[in-house]
Amino acid sequence: MTGDSEDPNADVQYHLEVGPGDVADAVLLPGNPERVDKVTALWDDHEAVASHREYRTATGSYDDTPISVTSTGIGSPSATIAVEELARVGVDTMIRVGSCGAIQPAADVGDLVITTGAVRQEGTSDEYVRADYPATADGEVVSALVAAAERLDHTYHTGITMSADSFYAGQGRPGFEGFEAAGSDALIAELQAANVTNVEMEASAILTVASVYGLRAGAVCSVYANRTTGEFRTEGESRAAETASLAVALLARMDEVKREAGTDRWHAGLSL
């Protein structure tokens, strides 16, 4: 048999169609491809790199720091493909920039939620590692996102995120013609009692796979809906993108300070 064969280690990646040198060390991961333009509008400059299926990639700079963005589509399977293929071209830091539903009353529509860890209610990460392996955000990424939100004066919350595979049944919403999955009526109350802050569809897989591969990852999402009040508005996505972009610049400075101090980890004894 002749012809091309699939090579997952090829320079140009199969789904993203990016290769070494096309992207920066740090990449933002929005779900919706339309958000790529909204992200890059905040940067100093940018150039489109690739567009294939749900994956749109652009590279540029923010605050004189190299940065890229790749959309991942909806859900953990496609988001994990992005993590895999970006890692293969040298990316070491990834930050999900998305939207979410808050399930605690303190998080208003338009606020930001910075994920510290996640409930793995999606199935993709189970294919990488045992179910009791934690989905945790990298501490340096969390610190940079918090610092960025503070500097930009954006209202934010930190906490545990639940990631589901389904927007409807998996998040306790009724399905077609009022269908209710078993246990869905109690899901939100159980998560609230466990002090979970928000629900979305990608963070836990991104965090888990990044941890398995020794990469830095985090997530910041704008609250589109509050499930306790019933309020819904598509608001705050530019704040999430701005916070994540500034966080990348802060991470670059943190890395420089670490090198000067001769340490591998950022800690409270170091200052920017």
* pLDDT, the chain, mean: 94
- In this prediction, residue 233 carries a pLDDT of 82
Burial environment of residue 161 by CB neighbours within 10 A (0 to 12, 13 to 18, 19 or more): buried
Q: Summarize the confidence of residues 131-151 as an average pLDDT.
A: 98
pLDDT tens column, 64-92? 999 999 999 999 999 999 999 999 999 99
pLDDT tens column, 213-248? 999 999 999 999 998 887 888 877 899 999 999 999
More confident site: 11 or 193: 193
pLDDT at residue 7 is higher than 80: no
Active site residue 130: no
More confident site: 6 or 45: 45
Gap between the Cα atoms of 48 and 44, Å rounded? 14
Active site residue 140: no
Please report the sign of the dihedral spanned by the C-alpha atoms of residue 109, residue 148, residue 99, residue 67.
positive
Q: Catalytic residue among 54, 56, 85, 88, which?
A: 85
Q: Which domains does the chain have, with CATH numbers?
A: 26-259 (3.40.50.1580)
- In this prediction, residue 6 carries a pLDDT of 63
Active site residue 15: yes
- In this prediction, residue 46 carries a pLDDT of 98
Q: Catalytic residue among 122, 227, 237, 242, which?
A: 227
- In this prediction, residue 43 carries a pLDDT of 98
Q: Catalytic residue among 15, 17, 157, 235, which?
A: 15
Q: Catalytic residue among 17, 84, 157, 173, which?
A: 173
- In this prediction, residue 118 carries a pLDDT of 98
> Hey, which residues does 156 pair with through a beta bridge?
112
Query: Taking the CB of residue 129, how many other CB atoms lie within 10 A of it?
Result: 15
Q: Summarize the confidence of residues 12-27 as an average pLDDT.
A: 97
Active site residue 227: yes
- In this prediction, residue 1 carries a pLDDT of 40
pLDDT at residue 208 is higher than 50: yes
- In this prediction, residue 25 carries a pLDDT of 98
> Hey, which residues does 28 pair with through a beta bridge?
69, 95
Using alpha carbons, list the distances in angstroms from residue 118 to 2, 18, 82, 137, 151.
45, 29, 19, 8, 25
Q: What percent of the chain has pLDDT over 70?
A: 96
Confidence of residue 5 (pLDDT cuts 50, 70, 90): low
